[in-house]
Chains A and B, each alone.
Chain A
Amino acid sequence: MTGEAIGGGMGADEAAAMLGGHLAGPEETIAGPGLPSQSPTRIALARFRRHRLAVAGLTVLVVLVVLALLAPLIAPFDPNAVDLAQYRRPPTGVHWLGTDEAGRDVLSRLMFGARVSLTVGVVAAVSAGLIGLVLGLLAGFLGGWVDALVMRLTEVVLSFPSLVVIILLVAVIGPSITSIVAVIALFEWPIGCRIVRQITRVTKETGFVLAARSVGASNLRLMTRHTMGSVISPLTVVVTLLSAQAILLEAALSFLGLGVNPPQASWGGMLRSAQSLTVLSDFPWLWLPPGIAIAITVLSINFVGDGLRDAFDPRQEM
């Protein structure tokens, strides 16, 4: 919910509502017992591959991840090396993307910045997804007071104005990658949780789970064996969209002065320090690279999320 208000980004709530919509449909059964267990994955994969934008997005992301991982090896300069003799130089053969206002190489900072943005995006979204998964499974499967408690908890979390609370919490813990990740994870899990709970409840009532229970399978085994399969696909979509949001959130927090600590490079931080009309009009090499990097990454993630959603959507015709 945070992304729209501050950083843009497709809301995970959108995913929730869409998935929720299809879950609510009475005729839908996810991974119905009649189908062979292998085929949905294969169908999904085939569908995903047909989604050209999603494939392109995935390719871009893989390239970015590789660049980020190899940054210490391939970055042309030390991203934090201050050199006032190289103050704000336009791109040259040596500094491909120019230098910034401390004489640091923009390209190197961009590469190292990718590590922060991608870490925040992936770790925050996956953690939120995991919290949602665990609580959702518990709520959906155990029902009763556990369910009631978890649902009240999601309500409490969703009732907080999330940007305000995120700013508040980052201010309490102190800004750093860890705190940004932690705060996003803590406040973005309810959507995933609700979806997982819903699916779990549907699955619980299907014949094969009842049958399994009747032959004495334990609750834990039931949960893991039978429910995970149907839960994982919609959750993947939510997590993808959340990670796009998380990257934008890092940028927004940097804008508010709550980003990662300097001199560490992050895309949001680079964009923030270029946030001035003078830089905008006179020094495009300071804002174009991080701006484009954020846009492309978020766009790619959203396309991948789109592709995944279409791939997992049982109503899509082949």
Chain B
Amino acid sequence: MTLCCGGPSKGKYMKRTVRPRWLAILCVVVLGLTGAACSSAKSTNNKAPTTLHTVMSEEADDLNPFTPTLQGKSQILSTIGMPMLYVDSTSKLTSRVLKSWTASPDAKTITLVLKPNIQWSDGKPMTSADLLMSLTDYLDAKVSVNAGRIGPVVGLDALASGKAKTISGLSAPDKSTLVIKLVNPDAAWLPRLALLGAYWPVLPSHLLGNVPRAKIATDPFFKTWPVSSGPYLLSKFVRGQYVEVTRNPKWSAGKAGFEKVIFEILSTDQMTAQLQTGEVQYVYTVDPSDVDRIKRISGVTVASHNGVAPELFGLNNGGSVFKDPRVRQAMLYAIDRAGICKTILAGHCTTPTANLRQIAPSWALPTTGLTDYNYDPAKAKQLLKDANWDPNTKLTFLARTQRSYVDKAVTAAVGQLNAAGMHFSVRNVTTAQLLDSIGKKTGWDAFWVSGADFVVDPNEWGDYLKCAGRYPDGPNTSQYCDPATDKLFEDGLKTTDQAARASLYHQAFTKLNQSPAEVYLYVVDTIVAYNSHLTGVTVSGNLSGGYWDIGQWRWKA
């Protein structure tokens, strides 16, 4: 933009130099502004900040725990409000609010006991009445989108039909204890509560107790969160841009390290650029292909943790194409999953060679009798031949444009499937189209999707494979259905005895190893990068858990 300062000139029509005054003024203004920019952009970089700038990995539409939830929202909710229960970086259940959480041996009664001296930001103590009210609201399917995701509690029917105003299975025998009676034995109830924890912060009953439940989801409380219990309190929510929180002086677990934390919504490139310029101090999650470049930035630390969610190709198991398990096995042999992990993901990943690993906690995984599906295109072709595969079958792959490494992994994997004789044509779709197609159950054969946290409890995987949960009724987008596997997963819930559960899951997983339901491509590491002055950061595999320990973060000069 140097054009404005073009030199003096004499034209055919002019006798004297043309240099109108306003042009000169403009030049000065532009230069002045650029100069101002040059002088002050750097000065913000290295002083010990009282404000931490970090990012949200997804945009949050609002901060209401009852509306459909995205990851971004859970990250803020777990910063301003303490979840009852959550998953730590080793995938164990933990809590800052509860002293203990136990399930009875028959897995039908859950007991939660509050820690003493937990208080709200207005100084009021947190009691079992708060837990009782919060759970009652969260379990009501009429107001809470996630209500159905956890095993039914006694008395929920009566609440749903309007016969009762409370849930009879929830009771608070004293100020710190909450007892939950379940309809069916459910050994996975507590792990599930922990996974929902980020979306379900404890709510203050002294402020919300009088709000009728039908109106709770639209209560103005959730616009401002005037009272909460986490390390930080909400101070600003600017839709589509950022969320600002300030230190909670009354946080029960100590004193948070910053006066303010600002969570910004940024694209991958913006994140890393702003980390480099010092505009943000923590970014999450880093694309594996960017790690090498970010490691070269001085003063930046890169940390990672094994992921907990596989990225996979969902298959249309409802149709006839994948009926023969040998076809699905062939897909696993045809794709060089280890190669994709090594090159496109730059090694920041684990390859589920048995199409199982990382899909459940280690105690539930069988150690013998499994087939490892290592890259072997010849074997893939042989299996397809054995299954009488018609090489003229036209297959449709639904792809959503994603983070950069995903697009590349999909391209490579689909290319290799084509090379093995399974002719997929790729169709770019939006999420809306994807769900629409899957819901119709025809017109597609495979698609890319990222899995959920499958490491906390083996039952999590089962939920995605149940006959009754085939999309659009439930989360089983691959339309997989095997009543025998269903039965094993159901039985796995009936006892809390880990050895008894393990033997059931070993059977289920061996079946799934032989008859793959989906193609698990890789489990990408959770990678974060931050200014090296920042201390106390623990990386967790669970993406919703990015900020569960944010109260412990400090700035060290």
A interface with B by C-beta (< 8 Å): 80-82, 84-85, 87-88, 101-103, 171, 174-175, 257-259, 261-263, 273, 275-278, 281-282
Contact = CB atoms under 8 A, between A and B. Distances in A.
Contacts of A262: 399, 407, 410-411, 414, 426, 428
Contacts of A102: 344, 408, 411-412, 415
Contacts of B399: 261-262
Contacts of B430: 171
Contact of B290 (A174, A275, A278): A278
B401 interface: yes
B408 A101 contact: yes
Given A82-B415, A261-B425, A277 B269 contact: yes
A87 B344 contact: yes
B233 interface: no
30 contacts: A80-B418, A81-B415, A82-B416, A84-B339, A84-B343, A84-B412, A101-B289, A101-B343, A101-B344, A174-B427, A174-B428, A258-B428, A259-B428, A261-B399, A261-B427, A262-B411, A262-B414, A263-B411, A263-B426, A273-B404, A275-B269, A275-B404, A276-B268, A276-B269, A277-B290, A278-B272, A278-B289, A278-B290, A278-B292, A282-B292
Nearest to B417: A82
Interface of B: 268-269, 272-273, 287, 289-290, 292-293, 336, 339-340, 343-344, 399-401, 404, 407-408, 410-412, 414-416, 418-419, 425-430, 433
Contacts of A261: 399, 425-428
B527 to A, nearest CB: 13
A285 to B, nearest CB: 15
The 3 A-B pairs with the shortest beta carbon distances in the complex, nearest first, are A82-B415, A257-B401, A87-B343
Contacts of B407: 262, 273
Given A80-B415, A84-B339, A277 B293 contact: yes
Interface centre among A82, A175, A261, A282 (most CB of B within 10 A): A82
Contacts of B269: 275-277
Contact of B428 (A80, A88, A175, A282): A175
Given A263-B426, A282-B293, 10 more contacts: A81-B415, A101-B412, A102-B344, A102-B412, A257-B428, A258-B428, A261-B425, A262-B426, A262-B428, A273-B404
Contacts of A275: 269, 404
A162 to B, nearest CB: 20
A52 to B, nearest CB: 23
A261 B343 CA distance: 23
A84 B340 contact: yes
B412 to A, nearest CB: 5
Contacts of B425: 261
B273 A82 contact: no
B289 A276 contact: yes
A281 B268 CA distance: 15
Given A82-B412, A84-B339, A262-B399, A276 B428 contact: no
A103 B413 CA distance: 12
A261 B400 CA distance: 10
Contacts of A171: 430
A282 B416 CA distance: 27
Nearest to B414: A263
Contact of A82 (B268, B287, B290, B411): B411
A250 B290 CA distance: 27
A259 B414 CA distance: 18
A275 B270 CA distance: 12
Nearest to A171: B430
A170 to B, nearest CB: 10
A278 B416 contact: no
Nearest to A262: B426
A66 to B, nearest CB: 28
B293 A281 contact: yes
Contacts of B427: 174, 261
A281 B339 CA distance: 24
Contacts of B289: 101, 276, 278
Contacts of B414: 262-263
Nearest to B340: A84
A257 B399 CA distance: 10
A82 B401 CA distance: 19
A17 to B, nearest CB: 22
A277 B287 CA distance: 11
Contacts of B412: 82, 84, 101-103
Given A82-B412, A84-B412, A175-B428, A277 B343 contact: no
Contacts of A282: 292-293
Interface centre among A87, A102, A276, A282 (most CB of B within 10 A): A102
A100 to B, nearest CB: 8
A24 to B, nearest CB: 24
A174 B432 CA distance: 12
B343 A88 contact: yes
A84 B336 contact: yes
A101 B426 CA distance: 18
A85 B375 CA distance: 13
Given A257-B428, A261-B428, A262-B399, A277 B273 contact: yes
